[in-house]
Copies of this chain bind each other. A is one copy, B any other.
């Protein structure tokens, strides 16, 4: 597809800032070496980011024999970013500085039945107001708010097209939110939020191709290919949870049978447990989180039912991940989101064995499978990153101002 000069400039801007956030302070020369861009291109991009106050000059380093090299670092207080994780049972909002440190957090619980769009929007607006107040940042410094909502979203129009767990259809979520929130808003979903978080700050950073397997209530696979997020032609790529693992298998809420999600999403894991041991004390029929936590504790205590359920789940997961390895030949597969975090290393080990049984030798040898190294909520971090990307995409150089101050374009 056409990749315009503007697209390339934006991608280069991402690449340079990503590298600076990972390693500050740094010189333009180091950035050129790390990104493969020319020194002239790096100098231009660094100049733009300095003008916007996103970077700061922090002195010089000696270069053997040459002129001292100027060092730059991210200017953490040069702006604030907000990430919103709308999940099935809660809304979590975090406010970040430009180095992506969490400065404030607000959680709102949502009771079952409390899932009408207007109710969810109320929770989000309250939590966004709370984090801005807690952090004490001026509104003008908030560069944007990224919002993750489960299901299929139209990023361009801000519409939540389909959220299966709430039976939402074509909800104009950004329009509703913009009645309460005056910062630039960016809508996307958790699987892509987790992927972009890994791409900027986690296990996919600097890797060629990465697959971020998102294990929560829903299941997806964010695809970070060639250094960027693969979105597909209508921004719905990554619906791995709705690929067939067992032809004519379990009925899925999408209408298909045998979807990956019905075996390895939190409700699927509960079903794996129920089929093995219908009266297990590990089972909390109305509470996914409590059941997954009980399984994690059970595995730690070598409870045979818990061990078997995690092994069965890993067997399904391993077959599905082997498909991703064979199809995409990624450098790394990252297990992310709350189910992966809760079941942790024991799940990872069983998954590695199961993938090795199913995948072809050549792509298997090239692929590492890891748990997400991101210590905070990856969905909030990824959502905030969408806001950061949005801000970087909207940098414009006005005619006649080429060597003057850069400006943000209007949203």
Contacts and interface: CB of A to CB of B under 8 A. Distances in A.
A327 B5 contact: no
The complex is assembled from copies of this chain, and their number is 2
A68 interface: no
Contact of A358 (B206, B221, B256): B256
Interface residues of A, number: 63
Contacts of A232: 209, 328-330, 363, 366
A329 B208 contact: no
Given A36-B3, A38-B5, A326-B242, A208 B230 contact: no
Contacts of A243: 322-323, 326-327
A363 B232 CA distance: 9
Nearest to A240: B327
A114 to B, nearest CB: 26
A36 B5 contact: yes
B234 A162 contact: no
A44 interface: no
Interface in A349-407: 357-358, 360-363, 365-367
When A and B form their complex, which 5 residue pairs have the shortest distance between CB atoms, in order from nearest? A232-B329, A2-B36, A243-B323, A234-B366, A237-B329
Interface of A: 1-5, 8, 35-38, 41, 152, 161-162, 206-209, 221, 223, 225-227, 230-240, 242-247, 249, 254, 256, 316, 319-320, 322-323, 326-331, 357-358, 360-363, 365-367
